[in-house]
Amino acid sequence: MVIFQPIREEIILREDLDSIIDFLKKIPEEYPEELTAGIGSLFLLGNVILFFYGAAEVIAAFKTDLFWSKKLNAILNTNNWKVHIVKDNYPSAFAMTGPHVFITTGLLKIATENEIIAILLHEAYHTKKNHAYRELAYEFPLFYLCSYASVTAGAATGNILFGLIASVITYYVAFSVSKILYKITIGRMEENQADNYAIQMGYGKDLASIMKKFEKMYLKSMKNCTGMCRIINAIDESIDEHPVLKKRIETILRKTGELSDVLKTKDVKKIAKFIIGSPREYGQTVKR
């Protein structure tokens, strides 16, 4: 890379190890932009590689379930979607890249067919709107901003070893804090949009129903959680992209009722205004 050219040329001119070490100590001060760009690029490249490699590995690890794939494709008027079953007792679902949705065996045990469809629609929306890629795009400048902070922290120590340690710690602290901001703003907005999609496809009551089951399981698990456990849990809830279950259920039920009321009016303009941007933009119809 061109940005490393001045650094490489100057190191070559140094003949002894001590002078090279002395020069390395001065790099953060003399070449902060180059060092920032280098660190940021490495972290960005590593994160992108891990993301796509991890997604490919997960997709390959779990076979496609024909029954649920057929169900989802029938609703979405396509044949592209693939639903994968993950052997895990914890009820959960997720989506990564491409037309792939994953649900756990634990979810299959507690959910009705319509509740599972509601979850599948929620996860499919995340993929349709490329939410995972949006997060990567958010991280692109973030890698460089955090790299600049780490270079500054490293240079302030005046010691290569401590500078390296300070740089790594500073980088991950800055990155973690920035990701929290993303989760509680954009992340929560995306979760609400995915819920809206399931509601507008006619599965709002089913989505609320499965959320109530999740809430019941959550409250049961919290019975023995006291003191520090509750503090940590409260912190986790406050920085999670998923809204608090109770509020989420209330929102889903309210919006489900609103959709029902709008449909009852038979006012084309009101109906179009309510569902604009969701399923109509995909050429789909609300199934009941």
Q: Residue 9, class by beta-carbon neighbours within 10 Å (0-12 exposed, 13-18 middle, 19+ buried)? A: exposed
pLDDT of residue 282: 32
* Residue range 239-252: mean pLDDT, rounded: 80
E strand or H helix at 45: helix 32-61
pLDDT confidence of residue 50: 84
More confident residue, 100 or 5: 100
Q: Are the C-beta atoms of 99 and 79 separated by less than 8 Å?
A: no
Q: What is the pLDDT of residue 283?
A: 32
H or E segment and range at residue 103: strand 100-104
Is the pLDDT at 257 greater than 60? The verdict is: yes
